[in-house]
Structure 1
Amino acid sequence: MLLEQGLGPQPPREVTAPLEIQSLLKALHAARTPLEVRFEDRAQTFQSYLVELDTASGMLYIDELIPSVGDKWMTQGENFRVDAWLDGVHLRWQHSDAAQVELDDGAPAFSLPFPTQLTYHQRRGAYRAAVQRSIDTRLELVHSADKRAFAGELLDISVTGCKLRLAGNQLQALQPGERYERSQLQLEDSPLLDVAVEIRHRTYHEAGDETHVGLHFHQPPAVTQRHIERFVTQLQREARRQAREDLF
């Protein structure tokens, strides 16, 4: 079942149950997860988003493609594959045709039937839970050598690392491989926790003027590890509950 993940990477499995496919698509839509679109026999990769779902009719709607040349191939009926990544899970499925439509607000989009088969591949070694904005979290990155400091909110977290949201473009200030050894983590209903983190990757999102930073927890103290594990378990339990509700 969705989100019933183990502690390590799992082999791909084919999802054919309509309710589970519907639940996964709902999760992609809610997370505003980018979609990668690839056409058969074409090397270029395009980006889109799942903008609307109609569970009654079994139709999904994706945004126009970036770059826009992909719209031409889609309207010509070329076969294509969709790839998306959600909480450490790689999802992919195929489509054979698409119809260009206008949504209720007048925005152009492409309509597609729900896939009848979807590949679900958990590739991350530890379950990573999304952290909603309504949950009170904070991580302050503190560099022990030059006293640089940055503070932001968690986007997601696992027992081995997290993703942080920072305001503005911080790409030059934060470099992969750097270690912030005097950082402090605040989780909901926990004391302020000491933690050392290492930057693994960072991406600037111009639309929201914010930088997302992937971080690895480096040998956290036992008390910090216990609080992180408890928080991840709490989020995982809530995600499972929500997923079951979405199925019915």
Structure 2
Amino acid sequence: MLFEQEGSPQPPREVTATIEIHSLLKNLQQSRIPLSITFDGRSQILQSYIVDLDIPHGALFIDEMIPPIGDKWASQGETFRVDAWLDGVHMRWSGANAQRVVLEDAPAFSVSLPASMIYHQRRGAFRATVQRSIDTRVALIHAKHQRRFEGELLDISATGCKARLTGNHVQGLQPGERYELSRLLLPDTAEFDINLEIRHREYHQDADTTHVGLRFHQPGPQVQRQIDRFVHYLQREARRLEKEDLF
């Protein structure tokens, strides 16, 4: 399986960190995710897309709406709610005072970037398989004990990963223990610090390797953004390969 679900649905949380909001919106734009828009006091659901982000000027650009009656309501300055779903995550935010603009010779609307969003993981996060041809490295480093283990990723999700270590390390890796000074290297990123918690481990005698399940413990917004980008890249590549296999 290319993707597997892990964990359980999480309660909704309010996202207020600017860098995380920008990352989520960028993911919606790059994945061409449709936006469901409803105006206050109106029952009709309209559709649009994010066409651009102007982070320095705090602007979000969305396409004209379908059906076009939404363009009229937006031009009248009516407030609206935006809902979007990406890989089992429901995102929601509010907008108002949309301004008609022309973006690259096409009509669009400009609205202010949201100051907060509701982020609701409605199902477990997807784990994407990491091919051996992709260069990844993980170093498990304990803050207090003289322990260090190094390996490569087998799979990864927004909330954790599985690593392959050479040799038998079942006794040295105890579930629940945190390796606070760990390091993770993903393609096209600099190596970064991350706090990893051991979830499970299993020794495979035929290959003399230990597979260890790890949870990311409270990564900062910038680290989470790098992880999310890599997961989305793996998902896009997997979908592309699946489509090629159909022909």
TM-score using structure 1 length: 0.51
Compute the displacement of 1:242 (Å): 7.5
- Return the alpha-carbon distance in structure 2 between the equivalents of residues 19 and 90 of structure 1: 18
Q: Please list, as runs of the form range in 1=range in 2, the aligned pairs for 1:93-132 lying within 5 A after superposition.
A: 93-103=93-103, 105-124=104-123, 126-128=124-126
- 1:243 matched to 2:242? The reply is no
Check if 1:27 corresponds to 2:9.
no
Paired with 1:57 and 1:73, the residues of 2 have a C-alpha distance of: 24
Which residue is equivalent to 2:18?
18
> Contact 2:20 / 2:225 at 8 angstroms: preserved in 1?
no
Gaps of 5+ in 2: 134-155, 158-210, 215-221, 230-247
Residue number in structure 1 paired with 2:63: 63
Larger Rg: 2
**SS of residue matched to 2:56:** coil
Note the 1:173-212 alignment, pairs <5 A: none
What SS is found at the alignment partner of 1:56? helix
Distance 1:78 1:91, change over 3 A: same
**For the structure 1 residues 48 and 78, does the alpha-carbon distance in structure 2 shift closer, same or farther, using more than 3 Å as the test?**
same
Amino acid at match of 1:100: R
Amino acid in the other structure paired with 1:80: F
CA distance in 1, matches of 2:31, 2:66: 19
User: Equivalent residue for 1:43?
Assistant: 43
Following superposition, the deviation at residue 241 of structure 1 comes to: 6.0
Query: Aligned partners of 1:130, 1:32: CA distance in 2, in Å?
Result: 20
**CA apart distance, 1:69:** 0.8
1 CA distance for matches of 2:17 and 2:65?
28
Q: Alpha carbon RMSD of aligned pairs, Å?
A: 3.5
Report the Cα distance in structure 2 between the residues aligned to 1:129 and 1:65, rounded to whole angstroms. Answer: 34
Structure 2 partner of 1:223: none
Letter in 1 for 2:125: Y
1:192-216 deviation line (CA, Å, top 9, x unaligned): xxxxxxxxxxxxxxxxxxxxxxxxx
Distance in 1 between residues matched to 2:122 and 2:51, nearest whole Å: 26
Percentage identity across paired residues of the two chains = 54
Q: What is the aligned partner in structure 2 of residue 87 from structure 1?
A: 87
TM-score by length of 2: 0.51
Counterpart Cα distance in 2 of 1:95 and 1:130:
33
Letter of the structure 1 residue corresponding to residue 46 of structure 2? F
Matched positions, count: 143
Q: Kindly state the Cα deviation for residue 245 of structure 1 after the two structures are TM-superposed.
A: 7.8
Contact 1:87/1:129, CA 8 A, preserved across alignment? no
SS of 2:57 mapped into structure 1 = coil
Partner deviation per Cα, 1:30-64 (whole Å, 9 max, x = no partner): 11100000001111000000000111111110000
Letter in 2 for 1:65: M
Amino acid at match of 1:50: I
Per-residue CA deviations over 1:12-39 (Å, capped at 9, x if unaligned) read: 0001111111111111111110000000
